[in-house]
Chains A and B, each alone.
Chain A
Amino acid sequence: MTMIYAAIRSVFVFFLFIGRKARKTRLFFLISGLPVVAALIIQTTRVFTAGSSVDGPAVFTVILMAFNLQFLILVLALFYGTSICSEEVEGKTLTYLTTRPLPKPAIILGKYAASALFLILMVATSVVAAFVILHIDRLFDAGAWLAMLRGLGVLALGLACYLAFFTMIGTFLKKSILFGLFFCFGWESVVQYFPGTTQKFTIMHYLKSLLPAVTLGGEKLSFLVFRLEPSSAAASITTLLVLTAVFLALAGLIFSRKEYLFDD
């Protein structure tokens, strides 16, 4: 067990170093900064428009978190997750990893861990920055900070789970991006609104179940909870963690059994 852990750790450090300098990290940091830009625009307009009815915190909770949850983490997890294996195969650098004394699953898990860290940092930076901008006049509201941290926790869990899913997909599908797009903007976007047990077949259902019911002006307005029949928090967290573990285990298993041939 110690050996596996040491192997995962060494791969994690390896890809942490590479990821720091990678162009894609910069690109996706920029993309994850879009909500911050939106927050700036909204807050600036609010400040310079007399009698503006826009409520910064409401915008943050209802809209930006919705964007982060329904789009950003999906896109980030899709790209990074499918790249974990595909990048090494397409770049023909897989040989350097598989000819080291490392258990094959450790390669996948170590790279997953490094990717997860980058993604969580990206999203956390974006969320905290947007939160600060939109709550500039009530930064000492502990309740708001707690709600933000809770939301961030949900996003982190979501990232971990989606990243694990796409890592698994990337280990055996060549056209993983295409499948991923259909999954994110087809399956997840549609089935989450299905009635009854059906919606439990989406990861998004469990993430939304962890969000507090959102009210705005006394009425539930958020489309985040539209048609949601929430599961309990405990069940949601457990399911998400179990799914993450299962996806990662499958990814490790597939990666260790499969042969990857380079296109010559």
Chain B
Amino acid sequence: MTISEQGYLHWKGTFVERTFPWWPIARLGIRLAFKRKFFKFAFSLSFLPVFFFLAGIYVSERLDDFQSMLKGADRFLKVDPAYFKNYFTSEFLLFMMVMLMVLAGAGLIADDLKHNSLQLYFARPLRKRDYILGKMVTVFFFVLLLTLVPGLLFILFKLLFSGSFAFLAEFPWLPLSVLGFSLCLTLFFGFYTLLISSLNRNRRYVSILLFLVYIFSDVFFGIFYGIFHNPYFSLLSIKSNLQQVGAAFFKVKRAYDIPWIYSFLVLAGIAVVSALVLRRKVRSVEVIK
């Protein structure tokens, strides 16, 4: 009987069609995120705007009761697509999403690279796309909890508090906008986080880069816009691009007078770069036969 080296090999069996092969990876990512103390705090903090906006929806239906407190501020409590856009593209929410990515997403691929876990993953019946999808779903879970769920809740509570479907009759496309922009944010943050996480094995570097790229893109936009007053410089800023696309989804006037499709293309470009980099970086050990 010959003795042959078994080591770590590519899965040589036939791939059986499993329902969700990426799910164990996603589940682990989510579980690990919740194990971090600071993550739970940051995640809870991210829901603050949800409560404020929900309260705003309630107050908007009870304006008479709050008239004395509001004193002219009631014009800010008009619940319309702009209200939703303000929530989805608020500086605080976007900043907190970046912080959550720093806490929960920085190590998604970086830790696997550091501990040489990729060869363990691919010695199982797992395709590269399952691995990447599993990691993405970890990000999707948190971002959707902060976007789609509150967005739909706002609509639901608006209908409940108003006691009629008038709101939906007036803005029938709003649920689709909420879904569409939530997906947009989710996909962007998924690609963005995995791109940076795959660039380095050190979680500390990745954390800093995740934060730096977001902040610096906005700072440089501020510098160039301050000098040249050219709205096209907003394409440099991740935050501005997200806000431009958000304004388009909710049919609200955009902050900068440039076609929203340009911002969308910038965000899509980042996703494409991410896909290319992930394709290159996520690979098991080459087995030479």
User: What per-residue 1/0 map shows which CB atoms of B196-216 lie under 8 Å from chain A?
Assistant: 000000101101100110011
B190 CB, nearest partner CB in chain A, Å: 22
Given contacts A27-B205, A178-B38, are A34 and B227 in contact (CB under 8 A)? no
A181/B223 in contact, CB under 8 A: no
* Consensus secondary structure, chain B interface: helix
Given contacts A54-B227, A71-B215, are A177 and B220 in contact (CB under 8 A)? no
A67/B223 in contact, CB under 8 A: yes
CA distance A45 to B226 in the complex (A): 14
Given contacts A24-B205, A71-B219, A83-B204, are A59 and B211 in contact (CB under 8 A)? no
Q: How many residues of B contact A (CB 8 A)?
A: 20
A59/B227 in contact, CB under 8 A: yes
CA distance A64 to B204 in the complex (A): 27
A136 CB, nearest partner CB in chain B, Å: 16
B216/A34 in contact, CB under 8 A: yes
A54/B228 in contact, CB under 8 A: yes
Q: Which residues of A contact B205 (CB under 8 A)?
A: 24, 27
B216/A42 in contact, CB under 8 A: no
A75/B228 in contact, CB under 8 A: no
CA distance A82 to B208 in the complex (A): 11
User: What per-residue 1/0 map shows which CB atoms of B147-188 lie under 8 Å from chain A?
Assistant: 000000000000000000000000000000000000000000
B224/A41 in contact, CB under 8 A: yes
Q: Does A79 belong to the interface (CB within 8 Å)?
A: yes
B227/A177 in contact, CB under 8 A: no
Q: Which residues of B contact A4 (CB under 8 A)?
A: none
Residues facing A in B57-72 (CB within 8 A) are none
B208/A75 in contact, CB under 8 A: yes
Q: Which residues of B contact A38 (CB under 8 A)?
A: 220, 223-224
Given contacts A67-B219, A175-B38, A181-B211, are A42 and B204 in contact (CB under 8 A)? no
Which of A59, A79, A185 sits near B208, CB closer than 8 Å? Answer: A79
A-B contact pairs, 7 of them (CB 8 A): A31-B212, A34-B216, A34-B220, A38-B223, A79-B204, A177-B207, A177-B208
A: which residues have CB within 8 A of B? 24, 27, 31, 34, 38, 41-42, 45, 54, 59, 63-64, 67, 71, 75, 78-79, 82-83, 86-87, 90, 175, 177-178, 181, 185
Q: Other CB < 8 Å A-B pairs besides A67-B219, A78-B208, A79-B208, 6 of them?
A: A27-B205, A31-B216, A54-B228, A75-B208, A90-B202, A175-B38
Nearest 3 CB-CB pairings of A with B = A63-B223, A79-B208, A177-B207
